[in-house]
Amino acid sequence: MDLIPKISVIIPVYNPGWSIHNCVKSLLAQVLENIEFIFVLDCPTDGSEKIIEDYAHNSKQIKIVKNEKNLNIGMSRNVGLSAAKGEYIAFCDHDDIVKPFMYSDMVQIADETNADIVLGVPEYIYDDSSLNQAYYYPELDGDIRLKLLSLIIGEDNDSSQWKFYFSHGVIWDKIYKRSFLEENHIQFVDNNKITFEDNLFNIDTLIVAKKVVIYNRIVYQHVINGLNTAATYGYSKYDCVNGYILYLYQRLIENGLYNQYKIRFYNSVVMYITGSFSVEIKKNWKRPLRIIDSFMYLKKNKVIQESFRNSKLRPYSNRLMRNLVLFFINIIFKI
């Protein structure tokens, strides 16, 4: 009888290009041997399917699941969750690099502390290496879970901590106990309809987690380049951002947390909406009617209106475009 894997690592694959080699090699170099790598092939068209199959031929740790149609990253991760057998769950992007000790060290910590979630340190890697940055956890007073939850929901008065939030609102620098995810029915949203699926997954887990532990060591390198998923226009589409806002609003209401976090929620709405519409303007500046329709769409959303009227956040005060968007949105709400 085969051993039950200690951890299942889920890697959706869609057109990563040559960088898939670096990702797979870093996974196969893990110190922990009792591990399964679930590659969810999301109908790639760049030949990466064949690359994964070649690696799988030489490694029993690799398991391949093929989507019948392109599902995008959130739903592909859910496919991986359904196939996972490990005691713990981790996620990896198809163009990133995992430190060889990541899963061995973090699984050991989870076992010793009975943690539902173990948090590692991500390092962001850029084409210009002078921009590379790791985000270590500072000394945190009080409950780690509540501190991180509040930062992921939004900032309370300004955007000074937004970089810290951005770096830790992800899922690939963490491991999760599988039984914890299953007992609480936690999965990813469909990011064809709702954006920032990592944020929402972490918010859902942090709301119900009983034990969260920090491992303050770089465990994961997130590679930022032109092909990176986070750089695509889809993450900023206003209808998907609207879906995110409504989902988060409902989760806070359902868990009796809205009043506690409403200022942070208001500020996050302002941050995301101004960011989304600045992208919309840049993309569609030759189609002004589409831009106007996008702005007027906001008037139909009472949650967004309430957020703009109550937020005191000054988002990215050094960025003209975002402040111009904010100016026009405030005018629209007064019409």
Domain ranges of the chain: 7-231, 238-333
pLDDT in tens, 179-198: 999 999 999 999 999 999 99
The values of phi and psi at residue 142, to 5°, are: 80, -155
- Does pLDDT of 227 surpass 90? no
- Does pLDDT of 317 surpass 50? no
pLDDT band at 80; cut points 50, 70, 90: very high
Query: pTM for this one?
Result: 0.90
pLDDT in tens, 234-278: 677 888 998 999 999 999 999 999 999 999 999 889 888 887 877
Tokens of 23: 């990702």
- Does pLDDT of 18 surpass 50? yes
- Does pLDDT of 39 surpass 90? yes
Residue 42, judged by CB atoms within 10 A of its CB (0-12, 13-18, 19+), counts as buried
pLDDT at 312: 73
Domain 7-231 has CATH 3.90.550.10: yes
- Percent of the chain with pLDDT strictly greater than 70: 80
Please report, in angstroms and rounded to a whole number, the separation of the first and last CA atoms in the chain: 69
Residue predicted with more confidence, 40 or 227: 40
- Percent of the chain with pLDDT strictly greater than 90: 64
The CA distance from 275 to 273, in Å, is: 5
CA 277 to chain centre: 20
Residue predicted with more confidence, 20 or 291: 20
Residues whose CB falls within 8 Å of the CB of residue 219, separated by 6 or more in sequence, listed in order:
98, 99, 101, 102, 105, 106, 120, 121, 122, 173
